[in-house]
Amino acid sequence: MVKIENLNKFYEIDGQKQYVLNAINLNIQKGECVILKGVSGSGKTTLLSIIAGLDKPSSGKVLVDGEPISKLPDMHLSSFRAQKIGIVFQNFNLLDGVSLADNAMVPLIASGIGLKEAKLKAQDALKLANIDHKANKTPIELSGGEKQRGAIARALVANPNLILCDEPTANLDRANSLSFIQTLKELHNMGKTIIVATHDSLFEELDFEHRVVEISQGSLVGRG
């Protein structure tokens, strides 16, 4: 599902290359759940952003579902991301002024689906994330855990095969974090490929099949 070969990301500061990611090689199979573990500043978010096509590598190959995502022109990249990738951000990134149902419909705008169908899909996604009872509430009326569920619904609405989560429990208490992990388990059972970037120790005790990949100072520790 995700194949990364010799990936580098660096910034040139005063003529010196400052590496954020260094010679990353990683192969993630379809349906696999990978926990990308590392401290803050280790390069987890950058790696996730490159896999999502939100950032470009400095060199190296990144294939997502067989497509070289870093080379896709913008208009292809947007539709590819809308159809194939769901992203759950650390700060949820929900639109405060509109309802949760409307927030969940946002990724469908790019795919050109009709409003009626989009509403139905959003309803299904909210149900899957166990937040359908708050569909008409705006994010400012919701708790952190509820916002997170809204973000999950938005990530799932287009039925993507790849789910990327960036520090998904950083703003949640333990109960909500465990509830989130339960949702991940359900998604894993549905056959979704999941990559979670986190430094939360709760992810070390998952009760479903997963692989932990450790990243430190921009390099993978051990075998990717």
Partner 1 sequence: MNELFLNNYVIVYLFSEAVLFLIALYAFFKDISILRFWDFNNFSSKQLKLEKQSYLLSTIATFIFTLKLTLLIYFVYMIDSLSIIIPGAMCGAGVISANSYGMSLLFVKLITIFTFLLFLTLNNLDLKAKNYPLLKFKSWVLLAGLLLIFLETYLDIAYLFNIDLSVPVSCCSALFGNLEGANPLPFGLDIKMLLILYYTLFVSIILSLLLDNKLLTAVTLILFAVISYYAVVYFFGTYIYELPTHKCPFCMMQKEYYYIGYFVWGTLFSALFFGLIWVIIGLLKYESKVLKRITVTSLVLFVSLCSAYVLYYYFKNGVFL
Q: What angle do CA 112, 118, 122 make, to 5 degrees?
A: 135
Contact between 159 and partner 1 by CB under 8 A: the answer reads: no
Instruction: Measure the CA–CA gap between 187 and 195, rounded to whole angstroms.
Output: 12
Contact between 46 and partner 1 by CB under 8 A: the answer reads: no
Instruction: Measure the CA–CA gap between 130 and 147, rounded to whole angstroms.
Output: 11
Among 3, 8, 106, 202, binds partner 1 (CB under 8 A): 8
Among 25, 58, 83, 171, binds partner 1 (CB under 8 A): 58
The edge-to-edge listing of strands for the beta sheet with 211-216 is 85-88, 162-166, 193-198, 33-37, 211-216, 219-221
Contact between 75 and partner 1 by CB under 8 A: the answer reads: yes
Contact between 57 and partner 1 by CB under 8 A: the answer reads: yes
Contact between 76 and partner 1 by CB under 8 A: the answer reads: yes
Among 5, 117, 141, 204, binds partner 1 (CB under 8 A): 5
Question: Cβ 61 to partner 1, closest distance in Å?
Answer: 4
Q: Output the furthest CA–CA distance in the chain (Å, rounded).
A: 55
* Residue number with CB closer to partner 1 (60 or 224): 60
Q: Is 9 exposed, middle or buried (0-12, 13-18, 19+ CB in 10 A)?
A: buried
Instruction: Measure the CA–CA gap between 19 and 21, rounded to whole angstroms.
Output: 5
The edge-to-edge listing of strands for the beta sheet with 2-13 is 16-28, 2-13, 59-64, 67-68
- With contacts defined by CB under 8 A, name the span among 3-11, 31-39, 109-117, 197-205 that binds partner 1: 3-11
Among 3, 25, 54, 61, binds partner 1 (CB under 8 A): 61
Among 23, 31, 32, 72, binds partner 1 (CB under 8 A): 72
Residues of this chain that bind partner 1 (CB under 8 A): 5-6, 8, 56-61, 67-68, 70-76
